[in-house]
């Protein structure tokens, strides 16, 4: 049931030394939110969490098993045989030295045909060897590649996949026929970066059509161990060994130092004194590391050639070091544990006692994560309990601070994060305005929206879109505050602002119009400052009328906003700007006489009546607005005629 107690009474109750349940309840709720955040973290949060736990790798002293060897087409090889790709008869000579290897994985596709006799020479060299060929999940559709390719993929695919939710592809690029036919098994070569473009995870398999095709490292392990990879309701298994894969069938790689992998330059295979016995029973991967040729991958331990991503999986499987990522209910349990460990700090009166406990908790948290990685085979993203701990410390310290302070300082602490400074000061002078129910009063409401931004955002990466929006919102918000408006909220790329609340403003309609003019002027500057982007366009709707305004919400969370028919009309006016502009342009194109060339700012009747003697406005034909019955009068504010002079005059005042 919604409580009607004023927030000031809640703060006083919270300040009661005997009432410790409030911050505890809040932090248990925060733990729940952070747990949810850990399940589906936004890009920025995921990147921060990964960056912190990536530091574990600096303490990893393990080296890959000696049974794994990287045959490296490196700088020396390129110096010897010329720039890659080489003639395939040269490559064939090198493969003749791999006859004793247990498994040979090719991180090379050989997708394009060359001279027939050279392709045949390579195919003959591969014939009879325990070779796994690579395919790349891009290129022609599977259905266009022929029955022989499908049969080869079928022979290479996993048989027991259950209902695995693997990544999918309908396209692939396979080796040319003579080479492919000499290869017993095929495997995918794809690895996928995390949101911050660092490679940490390794997909075990992909759906290619209706086939579950293993990645190269998995296929190499299957051949070497004579065990299959099986997806079941109880998890993913390789033989008897359970593999800690996520919901999409990927594992977190446990990286070794780049220089710790056994590596042989391809040129060494061509030397007369090279003994094939060197590679007896070895699991070998052949690939390119030469700069400018290899697809280097950014990993937590530096730049890795692509072949080492596959070899790292095999190494992790061989030495049993694939970490189990702590998530889901296990992460919830860790957050709950830290709730219990933090709770005693609320009874510690001396700051040094509390901060000693905080330090122990932070050190203990990271130590637990590092120890779990090094000795327990688990991977704990300490960022999430660390984030909760920081919030808990902040919450506890604010709670203790409020015990010694009251009134204005408590209110300022509670509201400065989401209201303009002058609004906060008004609330401090009039705390009765904190009633949850709000009050009815006349307001001017302003809505803005960028035209076509949703379509444009689909072509932008997340980071660029956020940067663009932040740069746009800065001057727009300033325009609201400059003319005594209150920023209600951001709605995607849209803005809602209120005038005449909570501070009284007898000229609120005029000030709302000045904000709108300032916004469009700032948008012109913004477009000029970002010539690399297509110019943004904006529609603005302003309406004046009675509405309910106040701290609307629940006793746990509320926000300062307005509701009512006047609000809805303002929003409809904004959405109508696009249609009205299109209609005006269409009539102008047809040679018809139009009242005005543009309708970037549409005003409702009451707003027009309030400003008509001071601002140039043009009546437009009444029109139906979505969600409203009948026709409503609308007016276009001709802002381009007065934008500079009017704003300069107002600033001078």
Burial class (CB in 10 A: 0-12, 13-18, 19+), 226: exposed
User: What SS3 state is found at 501?
Assistant: coil
Task: Write the pLDDT tens digit of every residue in 270-296.
Answer: 888 899 899 999 999 999 988 766 678
Q: What is the distance between the alpha carbons of residues 638 and 51, in angstroms, rounded to a whole number?
A: 51
Nearest to 27 by CA among 390, 400, 559: 390
| Rounded (to 5) percent helix, strand, coil in the chain | 45, 20, 30
d(CA 309, CA 624): 61
Separation of first and last alpha carbons in the chain: 49
Per-residue pLDDT tens digits for 103-139: 999 999 888 888 889 999 999 999 989 999 999 988 7
Whether 215 and 249 have beta carbons less than 8 Å apart is answered as: no
3-state secondary structure 573-635: HHHHHHHHHHHHHHHHHCCCCCCCCCCCEEECHHHHHHHCCCCCEEEEEEECCCCCCCCEEEE
DSSP 8-state assignment for residue 300: T
Residue 29, H or E segment: helix 21-39
Write the DSSP symbol of residue 239. Answer: T
- Judge: domain 437-652, CATH 3.30.70.1230: yes
Q: Is the pLDDT of residue 10 over 80?
A: no
| Listed residue (453, 374, 391) closest to 61, CA to CA | 374
Q: What is the pLDDT of residue 332?
A: 84
Nearest-angstrom CA–CA distance, 326 and 388: 16
Q: pLDDT (tens digit, 9 = 90+) per residue, 589-647?
A: 787 777 887 889 999 999 999 999 999 999 999 988 777 778 899 999 999 888 777 65
User: Is pLDDT of 350 > 90?
Assistant: no
The 10s digit of each residue's pLDDT in 576-592 is 999 999 888 888 878 77
Structure tokens at 321: 């070091």
Distance, CA of 157 to CA of 389 (rounded, Å): 46
CB of 59 within 8 A of CB of 275? no
In what helix (H) or strand (E) does residue 148 lie, and over which residues does it extend? helix 147-156
**pLDDT tens digits, 21-78:** 466 777 778 788 888 888 888 888 888 988 899 999 999 989 999 999 999 998 888 8
Which residue's entry shows tokens 């298994």? 237
Alpha-carbon distance of 158 to 468, in angstroms, equals 45
Residues 324-337: tens digit of each pLDDT: 998 888 888 888 88
209: left (phi over 0), alpha (psi -120 to 50) or beta: left
The interaxial angle of helices 643-652 and 508-529, nearest 10 deg, is 120
Report how far residue 565's alpha carbon sits from residue 580's, in angstroms, rounded to the nearest whole number: 22
CA dist 60 and 42 (Å) reads 28
The residues near 183 (Cβ < 8 Å, ≥ 6 apart) are 106, 126, 131, 132, 133, 175
Are 241 and 314 contacting, i.e. CB atoms less than 8 angstroms apart? no
Tokens representing 263 are 């590596």
188 forms bridges with which residues in the sheet? 135, 215
**What is the value of pTM for the model shown?**
0.57
If you count them, how many residues does the chain have? 653
Bridge partners of residue 574, in order along the sequence: none
Q: Report residue 138 as tokens.
A: 């891009």
Strands annotated E in 526-623: 538-553, 558-563, 601-603, 617-623
How does the average pLDDT of the chain come out, rounded? 85
Tell me the pLDDT tens digit for each residue of 529-557: 888 778 889 999 999 999 998 877 776 66
Tell how far CA 441 is from the center of its chain. 41
pLDDT at residue number 237: 92
As a whole number of angstroms, the distance between CA 476 and CA 515 comes to 8
Residue 404 has pLDDT above 60, yes or no: no
Angle, CA of 157, 170 and 296, to the nearest 5°? 80
The residue among 547 and 432 whose pLDDT is bigger is 547
Rounded to whole angstroms, what are the CA distances from 442 to 431, 503, 566, 606, 620?
Answer: 20, 12, 9, 11, 25
Determine the Cα–Cα distance for residues 5 and 437; give it in Å rounded to an integer: 10
What is the per-residue pLDDT for 4?
39
Token representation of residue 363: 């050190």
**What SS3 class is residue 517?**
helix
Cβ neighbours around 462 below 10 Å, total: 12
pLDDT score recorded for residue 17: 42
């Amino acid at each position: 049931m919604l409580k009607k107690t004023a927030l000031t009474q809640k703060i006083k109750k919270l300040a009661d030394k005997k009432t410790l349940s409030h911050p505890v309840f809040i932090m248990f709720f925060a733990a729940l939110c952070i747990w949810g955040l850990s399940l589906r973290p936004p890009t920025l949060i995921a990147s921060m969490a990964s960056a912190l736990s990536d530091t574990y790798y600096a303490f990893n002293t393990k080296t890959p098993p000696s049974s794994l060897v990287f045959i490296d087409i490196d700088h020396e090889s390129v110096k010897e045989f010329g720039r890659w790709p080489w003639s395939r008869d040269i490559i064939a000579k090198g493969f003749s030295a791999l006859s004793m290897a247990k498994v040979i994985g090719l991180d090379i596709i050989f997708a394009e045909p060359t001279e027939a006799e050279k392709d045949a020479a390579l195919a003959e060299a591969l014939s009879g060897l325990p070779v796994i060929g690579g395919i790349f999940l891009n290129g022609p559709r599977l259905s266009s590649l022929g029955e022989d390719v499908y049969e080869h993929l079928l022979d290479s695919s996993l048989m027991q996949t259950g209902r695995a939710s693997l990544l999918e592809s309908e396209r692939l690029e396979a080796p040319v026929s003579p080479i492919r036919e000499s290869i017993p098994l095929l495997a995918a070569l794809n690895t996928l970066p995390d949101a911050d473009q660092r490679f940490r995870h390794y997909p075990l398999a992909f759906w290619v059509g209706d086939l579950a095709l293993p990645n190269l490292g998995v296929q190499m392990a299957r051949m070497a161990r004579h065990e299959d990879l099986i997806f079941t309701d109880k998890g993913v298994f390789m033989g008897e060994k359970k593999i800690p894969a996520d919901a999409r069938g990927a594992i977190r790689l446990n990286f070794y130092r780049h220089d710790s992998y056994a590596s042989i330059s391809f040129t060494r295979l061509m030397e007369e004194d090279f003994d094939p016995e060197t590679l007896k029973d070895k699991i070998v991967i052949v690939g390119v590391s030469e700069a400018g040729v290899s697809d280097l991958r950014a990993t937590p331990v530096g730049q890795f050639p692509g072949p080492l991503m596959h070899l790292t999986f095999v190494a992790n499987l061989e030495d049993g070091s694939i970490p189990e990522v702590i998530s889901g209910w296990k992460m919830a349990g860790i957050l709950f544990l830290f709730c219990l460990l933090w709770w005693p700090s609320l009874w510690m009166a001396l700051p040094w006692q509390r901060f000693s406990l905080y330090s122990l908790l932070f050190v203990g948290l990271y130590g637990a994560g590092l120890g779990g990685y090094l000795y327990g085979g688990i991977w704990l993203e300490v960022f999430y309990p660390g984030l909760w701990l920081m919030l808990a410390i902040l919450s506890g310290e604010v709670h203790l601070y409020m015990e010694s302070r009251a009134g204005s300082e408590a209110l300022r602490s509670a509201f400065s994060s989401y209201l303009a400074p002058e609004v906060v000061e008004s609330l401090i002078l009039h705390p009765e305005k904190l009633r949850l129910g709000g009050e009815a009063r006349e307001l001017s409401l302003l809505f803005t929206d960028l035209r076509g931004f949703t379509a444009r955002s689909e072509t932008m990466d997340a980071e660029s879109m956020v940067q663009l929006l932040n740069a746009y919102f800065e001057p727009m918000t300033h325009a609201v505050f400059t003319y005594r408006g209150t920023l209600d909220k951001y709605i995607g790329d849209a803005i809602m602002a209120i005038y005449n609340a909570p501070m009284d403003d007898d000229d609120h309609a005029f000030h709302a119009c000045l904000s709108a003019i300032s916004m469009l002027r700032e948008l012109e500057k913004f477009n000029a400052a970002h010539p690399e982007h297509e110019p943004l366009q904006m529609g603005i709707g302003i309406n004046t009328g009675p509405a309910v305004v106040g701290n609307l919400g629940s006793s746990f969370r509320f926000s300062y906003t307005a509701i009512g028919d006047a609000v809805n009309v303002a929003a409809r006016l904004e959405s109508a700007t696009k249609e009205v502009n299109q209609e005006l342009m269409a009539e102008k194109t047809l040679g018809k006489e139009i009242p005005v060339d543009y309708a970037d700012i549409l005003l409702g009747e009451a707003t027009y009546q309030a400003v008509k003697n001071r601002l140039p406005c043009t009546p437009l034909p009444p029109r139906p607005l979505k969600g409203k019955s009948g026709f409503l009068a609308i007016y276009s504010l001709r802002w381009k005629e007065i934008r500079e002079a009017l704003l300069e005059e107002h600033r001078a005042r």
